[in-house]
Amino acid sequence: MDLFNYNPRASHQVNVGNRPLGGDQPLRIQSMTTTVTTDIEASVKQCMAIFDAGADYVRLTTQGTREAEALGPIREALQKAGYDRPLVADVHFNPNVADVAARIVQKVRINPGNYVDPARQFKQIDYTDEEYAAELARLEARFVQLLDICRQHHTALRIGVNHGSLSDRIMCRYGDTPEGIVESCMEFLRVCVKQHFADVVISIKASNTQVMVRSVRLLCQAMQREGMDFPLHLGVTEAGEGEDGRIKSAVGIGALLADGIGDTLRVSLSEPPEVEIPVAYKLAEYVVRRAGHDGIPAQAAPDFNYTQPARRPTRAVGNIGGNQLPVVIAPELSGHIEPKAEGCLCPDYYYVGRNLPEVSQRPQGPGYLVDADLWTGEPDTYPVFTKEQLMFMPACPAAVKFLFLTYLGLDEEAKALLHSDPKVVVIAQTNHANRLGEQRALVHELWREGLQTPVVFFEHYLLGEAQKEEFQLYAAADLGALLFDGLTDGIMLFCQARHGERPLSAQVQHDTAFGILQAARLRTTKTEYISCPGCGRTLYDLPGTIARIKAATAHLKGLKIGIMGCIVNGPGEMADADYGYVGAARGKVSLYRGKECVEKNIPAEQAVDKLLELIENDNKLNEHYAD
């Protein structure tokens, strides 16, 4: 693939009712109902709401044969009301249910982790090569039955791998790794190819965006190696709700879309499903608008590995670069920095340009970036140069110097300065339609030149207060691949309102920057909630529970709490969470510390208090050992 120029990945068309995807089709948008599928009236009503919001497909959970059979009257009622878009059955644990659903709806989703294998037991089993081959033969024999039914009824298939529900067989041979996730998918795809069944879509999802992005990149590589071009469904599972859910989804999905990967997507939010659709459209439209952009002539650094990226080697300049966490620089050009609100984050630096506040008006802690011609050497202030001021940089005695630089500005003069001055941090600028491509090109050229200068990415948007959601989606999508590529030593976001619009607050802008870094798992600054969007399998009041847990734990720093509606992905997706809250039965909840279930089948009305008690007791215990 071309790292620097946007080109959609080639895939073949898959027929899904009257909404084909892949090939030359537009990006398809979808969501999933949260109703109990056997409640025909409620399911039909929610499907209508999702379709009215603009979805191409709606997926419904089908735990058993009763739910699968309910898809028939749901489809009939929708068609009678004038809704003819495709329905998708979501199947786990029972291949017989998939057989039933494939005769009714236009697409069936199965999970390789639990299609023929029993529910994940987290047991260590050593398979000989012969035993492993026998398991694959058993898988193929059962899977072919479903393919035959799908072929007969013109039903498409989605092979949906979830990081949280890999089979014990895959886990024991490959571990909980992106390579294992990819192999779980490839086993099924090889059967599809062998059986000449092409109406297949693939998804690889994880709540950990690094795992999700790396796994999809590896899958594309594996498919290309074996001559496959199946289309891809994108999503970050258990992304959460509100701003965090949107940012996390956009970081993961956007990183792949920006590289031309993806044919359909879902933004999974712990909110009413119809809310997901406009968010997905905004994200998709923003990324694909760069198609046909002016070409970016660049070459990849020889040491860069797209599928196994490591952080680019840089020298530490102050607290930027080296092995240090990425910093956040916040533009504040008014000359007045508002006091930090309680519970809000303070950036590492403010860029104040020509409006350095008086000492008494500056919050203590951050550094202040001042235009170079006004810099006087005051403590905690640092000069910022432009390309036109390069000649003055060598004589500047500052311990840290910043340089605004574009890819086209990285000429021989700029390279010579960077080679000779180890105190420089580059702030990468771009006005290109494909800002990701041009900023990537700048860093790869530095890398090719052997320069270890740290790089902060500057993203500038013309959006007002009313476009807060767009700002968060766009910034996350633009930065996603740069973060996962290991190229980022810091980020700087600036949202400027057009004439007549109310500006977006500075606090929202740098909170978004911190949120993006956390979503990419590069810098943790607040509690992370790994919460599923809910479906017909959800066994308790998910939105109310999320709100209660967040209200009680938001003050905690660096904690990960998983809030899962059921056990399909629960324990697995929470593999790196500190605590988990998982629906175990109707009205019952089990609590986890890491992967360990510490209390089972608690009445839902008591479970939140029990979780908070568990966290509090652990904190007290940790404090005791620290003393």
pLDDT digits (tens, 9 = 90+) for 148-177: 999 999 999 999 998 878 887 888 888 888
Greater model confidence, 27 or 131: 27
Note whether 251 and 353 are same-domain residues.
no
Least confident range from 529-533, 548-552, 569-573, 582-586: namely: 569-573
Q: Decide if 213 is inside a domain.
A: yes
Q: Decide if 270 is inside a domain.
A: yes
Q: Decide if 224 is inside a domain.
A: yes
Which pLDDT score is estimated for 22? Answer: 98
Note whether 427 and 564 are same-domain residues.
no
Q: Decide if 295 is inside a domain.
A: no
Confidence at 582, pLDDT banded by 50, 70, 90: confident
50 contacts 29 by C-beta, under 8 angstroms: no
Mean pLDDT, the chain, integer: 91
52 CB-near residues (< 8 Å, 6+ apart): 274
Which pLDDT score is estimated for 95? Answer: 94
Q: Nearest 5°: phi and psi at 351?
A: -95, 110
Q: Rounded to whole angstroms, how far apart are CA atoms 111 and 120?
A: 12
Note whether 124 and 219 are same-domain residues.
yes
Greater model confidence, 525 or 440: 440
Chain centre distance of CA 132: 33
Nearest to 593 by CA among 582, 583, 607, 579: 579
Q: How many structural domains are present in the chain? A: 3
492 contacts 457 by C-beta, under 8 angstroms: yes
Q: Decide if 505 is inside a domain.
A: yes
Residue with tokens 């959601």: 469
148 contacts 193 by C-beta, under 8 angstroms: no
Q: Rounded to whole angstroms, how far apart are CA atoms 107 and 100?
A: 12
Least confident range from 42-46, 194-198, 236-240, 277-281: namely: 236-240
Q: Decide if 73 is inside a domain.
A: yes
Q: Decide if 216 is inside a domain.
A: yes
Choose the final residue of a domain: 496, 519, 542: 519
Greater model confidence, 534 or 611: 611
Q: Which CATH number do you get for residue 532?
A: 3.30.413.10
Q: Which CATH number do you get for residue 453?
A: 3.20.20
Note whether 35 and 69 are same-domain residues.
yes
Going through 520-594 in order, the beta strands assigned E by DSSP cover 528-531, 560-564, 579-585, 588-593
Choose the final residue of a domain: 519, 543, 562: 519
pLDDT digits (tens, 9 = 90+) for 203-222: 999 889 999 999 999 999 99
Note whether 130 and 223 are same-domain residues.
yes
Which pLDDT score is estimated for 580? Answer: 87
Residue 568 DSSP class: T
The domain in which residue 65 lies consists of 28-288
Q: Which CATH number do you get for residue 119?
A: 3.20.20.20
Cα dist from 237 to 44, 181, 240, 513, 527, whole Å: 24, 14, 8, 21, 18
Confidence at 625, pLDDT banded by 50, 70, 90: very low
Choose the final residue of a domain: 500, 519, 538: 519
Mean pLDDT (whole number) for 74-91: 97
Note whether 484 and 610 are same-domain residues.
no
Stated length of the chain = 627
Note whether 348 and 412 are same-domain residues.
yes
Note whether 399 and 435 are same-domain residues.
yes
pLDDT digits (tens, 9 = 90+) for 288-345: 999 999 999 999 999 999 999 999 999 999 999 999 999 999 998 777 787 666 667 8
Note whether 606 and 495 are same-domain residues.
no
Note whether 511 and 538 are same-domain residues.
no
Q: Nearest 5°: phi and psi at 217?
A: -60, -45
Note whether 497 and 569 are same-domain residues.
no
Q: Decide if 585 is inside a domain.
A: yes
Note whether 376 and 465 are same-domain residues.
yes
